[in-house]
Amino acid sequence: MTTPFGKAVRHLRARKGVSQKEMAAALGVTPAYLSALEHGRRGVPSFDFLQRVAGYFNVIWDEAEELLRLARISDPRVVVDTAGLPPEYTAFANRLSAEIRGLSPETVRRLAGILEKACNSREKAR
C-alpha cells in the first residue's frame, strides 16, 4: 500500500538514486519514519518536513507545490465530518467507508471523475 505522496517521494528518490536510509539521514528522520510515510502507515507529514524534502531534492516551485498537494490528499486515515449535513450525506460517507476496500480501481477512477466534474461545476457556478 502507498499514498500519492509516498509514490512521489519514491519516484524522487529513484530519480536521485538514493536509498531511504540515505534520505532519512539527510532529512534528520529515521528510515522507519520515511518508510512508513512512503507506505501509507503515517499521516500527513508536517510542512517543515515537506520543505526539507523539497530542498533535499532541489525541486522547482511547481514540483514543490505538487508535493504539498499530494501530501494533503495522502492521509491514510480519513475522517469525513458530516455533522449538520442531510442524512443522505452521512449514509453515503459511511457506505463508502464500509465498501471502499472492495471497489475495483476502475470504479474508484469513475467515482473520482464524477466528483471532479461536480467540483468543477460548483467552481464555475461561483
Is a pLDDT exceeding 90 seen at residue 108? yes
* HSE-up (13 A, CA, CB side) for residue 66: 11
**What pLDDT, on the 0 to 100 scale, is given for residue 32?**
95
Encode pLDDT of 41-70 as tens digits.
888 899 999 999 999 999 888 888 999 999
Locate 21 and state its grid cell: 536510509
Q: How far apart are CA 35 and CA 10, in angstroms?
A: 10
Which numeric CATH code is attached to 4-72? 1.10.260.40
Q: Report pTM.
A: 0.73
Give CA separation, 74 vs 9, 26, 86, 124, in Å.
12, 23, 27, 26
Instruction: Sketch the domain layout of the chain as residue ranges.
Output: 4-72, 87-125
Q: How confident is the model at residue 76 (pLDDT cuts 50, 70, 90)?
A: confident
**What pLDDT, on the 0 to 100 scale, is given for residue 103?**
96
In which residue are the cell numbers 539527510 written? 26
